[in-house]
Amino acid sequence: MPRAIVILTLTGAAIAALIWTGADVAVARRAALWQRDFQNGLAGALRALRAGDAGAFAWLMGLAFAYGVVHAAGPGHGKMLIGGYGMAARVSALRLSVVALAASLAQAGTAIALVYGGMLVLGYSRTQLTGLAEGAMTTASAVAIGLIGLWLIVRGLRRALHHRSDDARHGADCGCGHAHAPSAESVAGARGLRDILALIGAVAMRPCTGALLLLVLTWQMGIPAAGIAGTLAMALGTGAVTVVVAVLAAFAREGALRSAAGGSALRGLMPIMEISAGGFIALISLQMLG
């Protein structure tokens, strides 16, 4: 168990230091430059599509997918939230990957609903839509992410107190008939629908501004279907990166659990993982609000 705790502590401290000191800003700037290049490419693809050029639609979809990948590769709350949760709860890599992809597609759905609802119903301009996404919706997403982090911390503390109380009442061989050395499956069971919906909702609250731009431009150019398809392609690109993070988080968690070797070591490790992941997610929320 000491080795597992040391690895988790050092990893968490390194990530937290990057965020807290702003060292990740350089990565964000580089990603922003790449996104600008892709936006210029998207504009060219849209002009070609409107002109009826052969292959323009496929070009647009490819660029949109690549834009989503680049957008997700920079510092972002979606993959960090999914990855942090993957370290806190024993959810299978497949299930967590499905959640990651669903969150990205839900984020695309939010962008589509915001643009068409805002423009058709409320008469918003592109500036107003972007301001809403980067203002109130970003704040709401940050608060939701922060609440998830706090809930993980509380849940981890409750588990730690429960285990301590249980250990005080019973020994491993007390003869009471209860299992006091649970397996990884019983200590860290996969969470239910409530957690999944919370994760998806927290990510989906803040739509991608690149998707908003694409949707508005294609609406103004009279090719709205291309904008919707491109937005979904962006979501798939973002989802691809988030799925990779989800899988890595699941494997890292399982490696830590295996090193704990079960029994009381496992009972002590799981609350630490949950509390640490909750603190990491709460830090992301503070960064977004700041």
Q: What is the pLDDT of residues 204-232, one digit of tens each?
A: 888 888 888 899 889 988 889 999 999 99
Higher model confidence: residue 193 or residue 223? 223
In a domain, 203, yes or no: yes
In a domain, 176, yes or no: no
In a domain, 147, yes or no: yes
What total number of domains does the chain contain?
1
pLDDT band at 28 (very low <50, low <70, confident <90, very high): low
Rounded to the nearest integer, the mean pLDDT of the chain is 77
pLDDT band at 11 (very low <50, low <70, confident <90, very high): low
Q: Under a CB-based contact definition with an 8 Å cutoff, are residues 146 and 282 in contact?
A: yes
| Token pair listed for 103 | 């969150």
In a domain, 223, yes or no: yes
In a domain, 258, yes or no: yes
In a domain, 48, yes or no: yes
Q: What is the pLDDT of residues 67-105, one digit of tens each?
A: 888 888 766 677 888 888 888 887 888 989 999 999 999
In a domain, 175, yes or no: no
Residue 32 has phi, psi (to 5 degrees) of -65, -40
Q: What is the pLDDT of residues 150-167, one digit of tens each?
A: 988 988 888 778 766 655
**From CA 93, how far away is CA 46, in angstroms rounded?**
37
| Token pair listed for 113 | 């609903």
Cα 14 vs. chain centroid, distance in angstroms? 19
* DSSP three-state, residue 164: helix
Range of the domain at 232: 2-169+181-289
| Token pair listed for 87 | 């370290």
Instruction: Supply the DSSP symbol for 188.
Output: S
In a domain, 174, yes or no: no
3 state SS for 71-101: HHHCCCHHHHHHHHHHHHCCCCHHHHHHHHH
**From CA 87, how far away is CA 269, in angstroms rounded?**
11
| Entry field: residues in the chain | 290
Least confident of 27-31, 107-111, 160-164, 211-215: 27-31
**From CA 244, how far away is CA 8, in angstroms rounded?**
19
Does residue 252 register a pLDDT over 70? yes
